[in-house]
Chains A and B, each alone.
Chain A
């Protein structure tokens, strides 16, 4: 009864061709209002929300992507060695809270993946400013059961947008082998245990010596992207960088 997800890029191809069209439509229809707060705005996201959620001035922890307050570039957790191991650098687009969190929820749970297209330009330029250009862009996969239920993978939409805008090849090469319980319901310890060997490389794929961007929507413990990076490194990837839409802020005692 288990089905093998086959390697098929047709959705991606369609996404890419749809991306620019949809983005244009958005600017036409909704450009007068901020995508996040709904106030009148001359750009897609108003300057207020930009400061509040995207915090371009703020450092991200290069190991786990958390937003940092004190001007350093690594959070205390990661400095103590609790961070993910196999990633060369992580960057996150914004602070996962308030209207940006709502926006990501609208994408994931409320059937509006196309909302991402409206931010394609901003996402792409942030990513390429923070990370060295890769050989390919790889989304964190959903388990086939989850994918069947939701009908799309938001990480795949994001990865294909980046790939399309940068002209870098998109590779949907990871498999999620374990149907995990929803992350949000578990505590940190269980979450880490829960993810043990949840990923694998699709059969017959070669990534020897490649530099890879791994793309996901939200990092909480960074366990997911850490696992994926481990798999990619195991199969010979030279560098693995990660890009995510949102992460938390470091809480300092």
Chain B
């Protein structure tokens, strides 16, 4: 979209994509022709120091700026009167503007951050032509519902994305001089510095508060376990009584942490507020949305992920993959982040910026995790984040505590397999585990998977053994085959650790002291065991030449959860 510099009767200057509209509503009288991308205009205007620059000063500054950039922009820059008969007028008249700027449109754009790439989809949802949408959005800008921002803004020596806040971008030479495309958020549709973003001001809307008694106890019959009831009540306390903005739910693996947020969600929905439930992976999102829709069947639960078409209707409850958060601005009263620790560091930065933009100033954030990161635990220690524990699994059995075995596993990836003492010792332990049920053997690197499959197949000739790793094209097959019981043992890298439930599963972690294994990975791997009510117990072995800090911490974390569960009286009597 091209922007023009406008000048009103008082001499004020500002950029606009549709001078005619500004003449109509703001009394703007002249504009600088031709137009150029908003980012360039904003930057050149910055360089003008005068309070009320004259037309000539502006013209000089713009021409100078373009020359400095080495732009191919034509030399002919000039001030023109805004012509009432310009083609924009026809464009504007075709859209019955005032009528279309109605409540439903405003509710669709409220709290949104809309990139040019999304215009066609929004126009489609509104049933208008793609060319009409920017006009309508600009009218929303004139009426104070939002603002235009360049896709990326120049920083001292780089660019920053206005959607995700990242500085990781690809620069390239354009017709106007250097341009850039953000790499941080290109997975949800690239943004460039030549484009604009419509950003809603996300007015803090007063919730339609229905007369209701105060919630301190869950009022719907949620069929919670005792541990869940306590945690859910704790979250209601956090929402209704505490001033702190964020809460962390630290749950045991397989404790049912999603459900304990339902009473809080219910309260927000009844108060007419907006809630976002975000999870990192598409499969998790598509699994949770129907559950939420079932519980909250009088509200529409919207789903946003790369797999479904954009849905522009305003909904009280949105379930989305985490990156979709970047499409919002001051939109939500409550954001729930499931498995917030499941991101690599770089994604985390983008995500954090996204949360801070998407939440309303008065909003609250709940993090759900079995393995909190250092940074969130530090927030807890500084009283910036409220901590709720959900220490017991739904079946009331304690988490299996990992056993540390001081055996250095041989380096099979270095050559031929030799049947060393350590390998034979490991064989005996694995044999024991396989009496109990199917066995996960975790190894730290992809290159070790094949070798261990080979070695274990020759050690256990009567067992069915397979292997899998994150980028394995056969992964899905192998894993489903394992889950349905077609294999006795699977060798895999830690990436398979989440969201898999195999009854009677046992776990052995080889090279458990490996640098790739931090405390959180080890806890997640241990969490594969004892997840079902039918087989709530099992064994976890950490096998390594030395007991690393991560191993000690993981064992301590799990013991702590069990102790908390016992203190709370959440564990079954044995």
Q: Per a CB cutoff under 8 Å, which of A1, A144, A151, A153 touches B194?
A: A151
| CB closest chain-B residue, reference A109 | B117
Which residues on the B side are within 8 Å of A148 (C-beta)?
2, 34-36, 175
Pick the contact of B172: A5, A106, A113 (CB < 8 A): A113
A8: Cβ under 8 A from any B Cβ: yes
Does residue A10 face the partner (Cβ distance < 8 Å to B)? yes
Q: Is residue B127 contacting chain A, with contact meaning CB distance below 8 A?
A: no
Contact A11 B194 (CB under 8 A): no
Which residues of B have CB within 8 Å of A111?
179, 181, 190-192, 194-195
Q: Smallest distance from the beta carbon of B384 to chain A beta carbons, Å?
A: 35
Is residue A103 within 8 Å, beta carbon to beta carbon, of the partner chain?
no
A113 to B179 Cα, complex, angstroms: 11
Q: In the assembled complex, which residues on chain B have CB atoms less than 8 Å from the CB atom of A152?
A: 172-175, 179
Contact A147–B175 (Cβ < 8 Å): yes
Q: Is the CB of A151 within 8 A of B175?
A: yes
Per-position binary interface string of chain B over residues 20-43, scored 1 when its CB falls under 8 Å from any chain A CB and 0 otherwise: 000000000000011111000000
For the complex, is A184 an interface residue (Cβ under 8 Å from B)?
no
Say whether, besides A3-B74, A11-B72, A110-B189, A151 and B33 are in contact (CB < 8 Å).
no
Q: A6 touching B170 by the CB < 8 A rule?
A: no
Residues of the B chain whose Cβ atoms lie less than 8 Å from the Cβ of A153: 175
> What is the CB-to-nearest-CB distance from A179 to chain B, in angstroms, rounded to a whole number?
12
A15 adjacent to B181 (CB under 8 Å):
no
Residues 457-478 of chain B, each 1 if its beta carbon lies under 8 Å from chain A, else 0? 0000000000000010100000
Please, how many angstroms separate the alpha-carbon atoms of A1 and B86 in the complex?
A: 13
CB-CB under 8 A for A110 and B117, given A18-B172, A40-B471, A148-B34: yes
Q: Is A189 part of the binding interface, using a Cβ–Cβ cutoff of 8 Å?
A: no
A4 to B75, CA, bound (A): 9
CA–CA, A113 and B195, complex, Å: 14
Are A6 and B74 neighbours in the complex by a CB distance under 8 Å? yes
On whether the beta carbons of A6 and B190 are closer than 8 Å, the reply is no
CB-contacts of B10-64 with A (<8 A): 33-37
Residue-wise interface mask of A (15-35) relative to B, using a CB-CB cutoff of 8 A (1 in contact, 0 not): 100100010000000000000
Is A112 engaged at the interface, CB distance under 8 Å to the other chain? Answer: yes
- Flag whether B176 is at the interface (Cβ < 8 A): yes
B484 at interface (Cβ–Cβ under 8 A)? Answer: no
The chain B residue with its CB closest to the CB of A144 is B74
Q: Are A11 and B175 in contact (CB under 8 A)?
A: yes
For residue B67, give the distance in angstroms from its CB to the closest CB of chain A.
11
- State how many angstroms separate the Cβ of A9 from the closest Cβ of chain B: 10
B195 (CB) vs chain A CBs: closest residue: A111
B interface footprint on A190-216 (CB within 8 Å = 1, 0 otherwise): 000000000000000000000000000
A53 within 8 A of B: no
**Is there contact, CB below 8 Å, between A112 and B72?**
no
Q: Which residue of A lies closest to B36 (CB)?
A: A148
* Chain A residues near B194 (CB-CB < 8 A): 111, 150-151
Q: How far apart sit A54 and B76, CA to CA, in the bound complex (Å)?
A: 44
Output the residue of A3, A4, A110, A111 with the most chain B CB within 10 A.
Answer: A111
Give A159 Cβ to nearest chain B Cβ, in Å.
Answer: 14
From A11, A39, A149, B173 is in contact (CB under 8 Å) with A11
Q: 8 Å CB contacts to B: which residues of A220-250?
A: none
Shortest Cβ gap from A1 to chain B (Å):
7
The distance in angstroms between the C-alpha atoms of A11 and B177, with both chains bound, is 8
Q: For the complex, give the distance between the alpha carbons of A110 and B119 in Å.
A: 13
A165 within 8 A of B: no
Say which residue of A8, A39, A110, A114 sits within 8 Å of B72 (CB atoms): A8
- A14-B173, A114-B181, A152-B173 given; 4 more Cβ-contact pairs under 8 Å: A8-B72, A11-B173, A111-B192, A111-B194
- Chain A residues in 8 Å Cβ range of B124: none
Among residues of A, the one whose C-beta sits closest to the C-beta of B194 is: A151
Minimal Cβ-Cβ distance residue in A for B173: A14
> Which residues of chain A come closer than 8 Å to B179, judged between CB atoms?
111, 151-152
- Residues in B neighbouring A39, C-beta threshold 8 A: 473
Closest A-B pairs by Cβ, 7 of them: A111-B192, A3-B74, A14-B173, A151-B194, A151-B174, A114-B172, A110-B190
Determine how close the nearest CB of chain A comes to the CB of B234; give it in whole angstroms.
42
A11 neighbours in B (Cβ, 8 Å): 70, 72, 173-175
Please indicate the chain A residues that have their CB under 8 angstroms from the CB of B33 in the complex.
Answer: 1
| A155 shortest CB reach to chain B, Å | 13
Closest A residue to B73 by CB, please name it.
Answer: A148
Quick one: closest A residue to B183, CB to CB? A29
A6 to B76, CA, bound (A): 11
A6 with B75: CB separation less than 8 A: yes
CA of A151 to CA of B195, assembled, Å: 10
Complex CA–CA separation, A19 to B2 (angstroms): 27
* With A11-B175, A14-B173, A114-B170: A149-B189 Cβ-Cβ less than 8 Å: no
A237 to B170: give the CA distance in the assembly, Å. 38
Please name 27 pairs of A and B residues whose Cβ atoms are closer than 8 Å in the assembled complex, sorted by A.
A1-B33, A3-B75, A4-B74, A6-B72, A10-B70, A11-B70, A11-B72, A11-B174, A14-B70, A18-B172, A22-B170, A22-B172, A40-B471, A110-B117, A111-B190, A112-B186, A113-B172, A114-B170, A148-B35, A148-B175, A150-B194, A151-B37, A152-B172, A152-B174, A152-B175, A152-B179, A153-B175
**How close is A8's CB to chain B, nearest CB, in angstroms?**
6
Chain A proximity of B22: nearest CB distance (Å):
19
Q: How far is the CB of A11 from chain B (nearest CB, A)?
A: 6
Interface flags, B176-216, vs A, CB<8A=1, else 0: 10010100001001111011000000000000000000000
Closest B residue, CB atoms, query A39: B473
Q: Which residues of A contact B70 (CB under 8 A)?
A: 10-11, 14
Q: How far is the CA of A148 from the CA of B74 in the complex (A)?
A: 10
Q: Which of B74, B181, B471 contacts A112 (CB 8 A)?
A: B181
Report the Cα distance A236→B550, complex, angstroms.
76
Question: Given the complex, which residues of A lie within 8 Å of B172, measured CB to CB?
Answer: 18, 22, 113-114, 152
**A8 CA to B74 CA, complexed, in Å:** 10
Assembled-state Cα–Cα distance A14/B179 (Å): 12
Minimal Cβ-Cβ distance residue in B for A114: B172
* Chain A positions within 8 Å of B173 at CB level: 11, 14-15, 18, 152
- Give the docked Cα–Cα distance between A36 and B189 (Å): 16
- Which residue of chain A lies nearest to B472 when distances are taken between CB atoms in the complex? A40
**Bound form: Cα–Cα A111–B189 in Å:** 10
Binary A-proximity of B93-132 (CB < 8 A = 1, otherwise 0): 0000000000000000000000001000000000000000
How far in angstroms is the closest Cβ of chain B from A112? 5
- Are A149 and B74 neighbours in the complex by a CB distance under 8 Å? no
Q: For A106, what are the chain B residues with a Cβ–Cβ distance below 8 Å?
A: 190
B34 and A3 contacting across the interface, CB-CB below 8 Å:
yes
Smallest CB-CB separation from B80: which chain A residue? Answer: A1
**Within 8 Å CB of A1, what residues of B?**
33, 80
Chain B residue at minimal CB-CB distance from A172? B72
Residue on A with the closest CB to B37? A151
A111–B183 CA distance with the chains assembled, in angstroms: 11
Indicate which residue in B2, B76, B80, B181 contacts A149 across the interface (CB closer than 8 Å): B2
Whole-angstrom CA separation of A151 from B76 in the bound complex: 17
Q: Give chain B residues whose Cβ lies under 8 Å from the Cβ of A15.
A: 173
Q: Encode B310-348 as 1/0 by CB contact (under 8 A) with A.
A: 000000000000000000000000000000000000000
